[in-house]
Structure 1
């Protein structure tokens, strides 16, 4: 006999979620259980009724179970999923493939298995924010096991496990990063990068590290965005550029945005070689690697290329731009994230604004 019930859950932001649990019993014993979460109660109820009808007319279809390692291999082989996974997700999934948790059957994963995995990772030196990626990406793979691969996976266990892992301090969000390069560090980096592009040319594709460094700060762009700007996307009259597929957690592709080229960023772009379709036709990994080598040689600690984005946004705020205006440059849709994560103002700069 099949039945379902709906549970209401309130998230930290106050929004509601409704989880419908569908259960099939035989001789008072549960032989099948599944669950799915919705934003609206009516959607959960509609799904519950639909599944009841399917289970009563078609019966319980036995899905195969496989070790999680096999499921991960199958996921990596599905190009439509794997090719759209980010670099971090791909790295984590490959790492999980070699962990003890990969030996567990996909339909027998328990909260205790996840706890042990997180403890193992913690013992190896991983931080809660890093371990959180393990749990999130494993959850993502197992969620697709049934609809994509017809594999039985205990996906619903994460509803129980995640709050427990949070309470135990095994997983958590990354700490707010506040690092900005000092003016002295930037001067040293400029000199080191100047020597790198002068004395270590890469043949005909020598990388103009200095121009890219300044352009990255002035435009608040990610290095991946800088290296994919086309000349055709540059509007010389309005001094703007179309940045394609800007990162947005709600939309993977098609998030195009017109960005103003403020300060000297327009001049920097215009003096680049126009023989290529791209303004900066370089591999972003090569650019960031050159930056990292220069940083390491100088002994500058805890500075990442992405911190230049925070530097650029903070400068705009210090110059008096409003948060809405800065968002037009950085591309943030969530102004709270822009203010909390990408802004670190120097208190001493306030004196400049009050000076006559």
Structure 2
């Protein structure tokens, strides 16, 4: 039975049915009543094992976007992926009552012809989570069909590193020079790349770094939020500190200013543009992280390295981001 109560400036709906409880707050009483009625039907369907006849995969994914994605750190990525699927892929039109392992395998094979296995695996995990919520919380599917389908093979870990010649090419094309502050956005990307190689920071972390979190006197920067949801302190080499200091005349007026004055999108787009003007192939900005960690591994043990990089799983650090050159290993033998 549903209970609708006035709470502050809104209306709170509470539904308790078949041993399950749901609640949500709305701006109007009518919205609360409508939601409560929908939930009662869903809980009855869940209890009886019924799948809604009028729902498709698109309906499930759109509800996931409305109710689950908001507030997640990966919300933008989830929205882009799911909106594209709902718009472009035949999977979206499949009624949930007809959803099967064959439907999912057909989607998998289509995507593998369009994008890399790594991309398909990321989309796979997102879809699987949506189906799990549809199963456990909404009663919209009888099972997660992805559990009965073979995943694409996990691709080999990337081991691309930058050579000094490539670094020099990219810096030259960007227009960055140590002789003057980087006044253009392209030159700032050159400085950002060099900073990434010194610190192993991700593009998004560099793009969100403000002057308030730069502790030059103690030679470190503080990252209050990172990919794994935990804060992190990153030590600065003298070169990294010098790169930051060169930004001060341009962005250092207020503590809230972004140090390098670039967004993640600008870093990505301009780095691609710079790379196209060189002879360099198969290189992503994120490869600077592997280059940095491989260099830092010559100075720090694995536990210190994990603290710098923020890795909680040492296997990922070892297999994905640590790619020592054999010449470096040989030089350490004697």
Which TM-score band (shorter chain)? 0.7 to 0.9
1:191 pairs with one of 172, 190, 210 = 172
> Cα distance 1:59–1:219, how it changes in 2: closer, same or farther (>3 A)?
closer
Cα distance, 1:354 vs. partner? Answer: 5.3
Partner residue of 1:324?
303
Contact 1:139 1:155 survives alignment (8 Å): no
* Deviation, structure 1 residue 268: 1.9
Asked whether the 8 Å contact 2:209–2:259 carries over to 1, the reply is yes
Equivalent position to 1:139, from 128, 132, 155: 128
Q: What is the CA-CA distance between 1:86 and the residue it aligns to?
A: 4.3
* Residue 117 of structure 2: aligned partner: 128
Q: CA deviation at 1:290?
A: 1.5
Q: How big is the shift at 1:147?
A: 5.9
Match of 1:345 in 2: 324
Query: Is contact 1:218–1:264 with CA below 8 Å preserved after alignment?
Result: yes
Matched, 1:156 2:144: yes
User: Counterparts of 1:184 and 1:287 in 2: how far apart (Å)?
Assistant: 21
Cα distance, 1:213 vs structure 2:
1.5
How far apart, CA to CA, are the structure 2 residues paired with 1:246 and 1:300?
Answer: 30
C-alpha contact 2:186 2:270 (8 A) present in aligned 1? no
The alpha-carbon distance between structure 1 residues 126 and 146, as it changes in their structure 2 partners (threshold 3 A), is same
Cα separation, 2, equivalents of 1:223 and 1:327: 18
Q: Paired residue for 1:92? A: 81
Change (3 A) 1:306 1:206: closer
Q: Which residue of structure 2 aligns with residue 50 of structure 1? A: none
**Structure 2 counterpart SS, 1:237:** helix
Q: Distance in 2 between matches of 1:207 and 1:190?
A: 8
TM (norm. structure 2) is 0.74
CA offset digits 1:85-118 (Å, max 9, x no partner)? 3444333312321211212122431111111222
1:59 positional shift: 5.7
Q: How many residue pairs align between the two structures?
A: 281
| More divergent stretch after superposition (256-265 vs 267-276) | 267-276
Determine the C-alpha separation between the residues in 2 that align with 1:126 and 1:96: 13
Query: Pairwise mapping of residues 254-269 of structure 1 onto structure 2 (< 5 A)?
Result: 255-269=230-244
Preserved contact between residue 75 and residue 82 of structure 1 (Cα < 8 Å) = no
Alpha-carbon distance change, 354 to 62 in structure 1, aligned in 2, over 3 angstroms: closer
Q: Output one character per residue of 1:314-338: Cα deviation in whole Å (capped at 9) or x when no partner.
A: 1112x33211121122111111211
- Map of 2:247 onto structure 1: 272
Matches within 5 A, 1:96-245: 96-97=85-86, 98-122=88-112, 124-145=113-134, 150=138, 152-161=140-149, 165-166=150-151, 171-194=152-175, 208-245=188-225
Equivalent-residue separation in structure 2 for 1:343 and 1:183 (angstroms):
17
2:58 is the alignment partner of 1:69 = yes
Give yes or no for contact 1:108–1:153 (8 Å, CA) kept in 2. Answer: no
Q: Distance in 2 between matches of 1:285 and 1:99?
A: 26
In structure 1, the residue corresponding to 2:234 is in which secondary structure?
A: strand
Residue aligning to 1:298: 278
TM-score for the superposition, normalised by structure 1: 0.70
Deviation, 1:146, is 5.3
CA distance 1:59–1:82, change in 2 (3 Å): closer
> After the TM superposition, which parts of structure 1 deviate over 6 Å for at least 4 consecutive aligned residues?
195-198
2:51 and 2:330 map into 1 onto residues whose CA distance is 68
User: Is the contact between residue 51 and residue 139 of structure 2 (CA under 8 Å) also seen in structure 1?
Assistant: yes
Alignment RMSD (CA, Å): 2.9
CA displacement 1:118-159 (0-9 Å, x = unmatched): 22233x3434333333332221112223566x4512343332
Give the C-alpha shift of residue 264 in structure 1: 1.4
